[in-house]
């Protein structure tokens, strides 16, 4: 049986449906195996007509029984229709309670397909926090939305920037608060978790060490602005080494990502959200995707906004979704489950 990727449609009023159509239409040149798209068929038909894009799907289903039959028949691009968009009130670039509820329903169904062995991994396109909030769903990120659905309480996000793998010690919080999380206990915990994960999964080069970023610039020759390195990071790295973890650092940010890009490290631990994301997007903007570890299945995200300024104009680019599909296919082929 083929191993399918489950792909919910994301925020319907944004670029999600368009980039799904574009990415799957390019499949002959960017092959990533069979895909099940979960969305509203009428909406995709409208997107196709409005933007003059041919629909790539080889089969349409409305329930699991039909899906199973089409999978046995060997269909590669299956559309699972969940009528959830009110097209009379729908307009591009207008997130609403209706589109927010549709994100929830299509994501729920995609997760269910994986839990019931119809699909092997989840790939997601952008959502919109305003739509989710209007629908009464208080989250603005896929990782917290999916965590609600699967009951996982401690997933770990990782950027894959064209093969450079970057973890972050802290995520969606103000920088001043992120600095407060740079403590010996918390840093050591992050190092141990990242090391354990990279030892378990088959997509990391275990011949290379982990590397952790510094907080302060040029801390090694500073004139007193290296407190975090002296009191927290260096002792944490030494403690990690004493328990058998192969790690170097702290490494100054001006050289860390350059060395990572040339393959010096198994993975990098950044300390703040932007320290990770600015570096990743600079390394390879179109091929940077996010992998969420810790769930019962592999999940790969297009970690961007829903691009309302591009919605419905036919100008959205699908390169990052193509990369997300390719990474998901590569990871499950190598045996990643999460």
Report the side by side order of strands in the sheet with 5-8.
Answer: 59-61, 77-81, 35-39, 5-8, 121-124, 298-301, 288-293, 156-161, 164-168, 267-270, 210-213, 247-251
Q: Is the residue at 61 inside a domain? A: yes
Does 92 lie in the same domain as 14? yes
Among 280, 303, 320, give the residue marking a domain's end. Answer: 280
Does 168 lie in the same domain as 144? no
Phi-psi region of 235 (alpha: psi -120 to 50; beta: other; left: phi over 0): alpha
Does 77 lie in the same domain as 59? yes
For 35-76, the pLDDT digits (tens) are 999 999 999 999 999 999 999 999 999 999 999 999 999 999
Does 201 lie in the same domain as 178? yes
Distance, in Å, from the CA atom of 148 to the CA atom of 154, rounded to the nearest integer, reads 11
Q: Is the residue at 309 inside a domain? A: yes
Does 143 lie in the same domain as 183? no
Identify the band that residue 221 occupies on the pLDDT scale cut at 50, 70 and 90.
low
Q: Which residues contact 172 (CB under 8 A, 6 or more apart)?
A: 141, 273
Does 310 lie in the same domain as 272? no
Does 90 lie in the same domain as 142? yes
Packed helices 234-242 and 184-200: angle between N→C axes, nearest 10 degrees = 50
What CATH number is associated with residue 181?
Answer: 3.40.718.10
> For residue 201, what are the domain limits?
160-280
For 292-322, the pLDDT digits (tens) are 998 889 999 997 777 878 888 988 899 999 9
| CB-CB contact of 114 with 150 (8 Å) | no
Distance, in Å, from the CA atom of 22 to the CA atom of 295, rounded to the nearest integer, reads 28
Does 26 lie in the same domain as 134? yes
pTM: 0.92
Q: Is the residue at 288 inside a domain? A: no
Does 100 lie in the same domain as 177? no
Does 151 lie in the same domain as 299? yes
The count of structural domains within the chain is 2
Output the CA angle 295-104-313, nearest 5 degrees: 110
Q: Is the residue at 35 inside a domain? A: yes
For 104-117, the pLDDT digits (tens) are 999 999 999 999 99
Does 263 lie in the same domain as 125? no
Q: Which residues contact 49 (CB under 8 A, 6 or more apart)?
A: none
């Amino acid at each position: 049986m083929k191993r399918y990727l489950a792909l919910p449609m994301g925020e319907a009023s944004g670029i999600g449906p368009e980039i799904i159509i574009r990415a799957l239409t390019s499949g002959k040149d960017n092959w990533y195996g069979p895909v099940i798209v979960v969305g509203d068929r009428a909406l995709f038909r409208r997107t196709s007509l409005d933007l003059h894009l041919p629909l790539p799907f080889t089969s349409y289903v409305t329930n699991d029984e039909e899906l199973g039959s089409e999978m046995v028949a060997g269909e590669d691009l299956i559309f699972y229709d969940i009528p959830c968009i009110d097209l009379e009130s729908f307009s591009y670039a207008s997130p609403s309670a209706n589109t927010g509820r549709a994100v929830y329903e299509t994501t729920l169904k995609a997760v269910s397909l994986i839990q019931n062995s119809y699909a092997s991994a989840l790939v997601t396109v952008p959502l919109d926090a305003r739509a989710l909030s209007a629908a009464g769903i208080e989250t603005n990120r896929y990782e917290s939305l999916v965590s609600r659905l699967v009951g996982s309480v401690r997933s770990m996000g990782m950027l894959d920037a064209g093969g450079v793998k970057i973890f972050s010690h802290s995520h969606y919080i103000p920088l001043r608060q992120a600095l407060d999380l740079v403590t010996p206990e918390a840093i050591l915990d992050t190092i141990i978790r990242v090391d354990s994960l990279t030892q378990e999964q088959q997509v990391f080069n275990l011949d290379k060490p982990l590397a952790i970023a510094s907080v302060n610039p040029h801390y090694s020759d500073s004139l007193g602005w290296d407190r975090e390195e002296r009191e927290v990071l260096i002792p944490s790295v030494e403690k990690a080494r004493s328990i058998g973890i192969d790690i170097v650092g702290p490494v100054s940010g001006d050289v860390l990502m350059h060395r990572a890009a040339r393959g010096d490290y198994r993975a990098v631990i950044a300390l703040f959200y932007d320290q990770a994301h600015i570096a990743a997007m600079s390394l390879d903007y179109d091929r940077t995707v996010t992998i969420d570890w810790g769930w019962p299945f592999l999940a790969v995200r297009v970690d961007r906004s829903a691009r309302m300024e591009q919605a419905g104009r036919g100008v959205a680019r699908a390169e990052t979704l193509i990369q997300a599909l390719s990474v998901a296919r590569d990871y499950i082929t190598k045996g990643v489950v999460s």
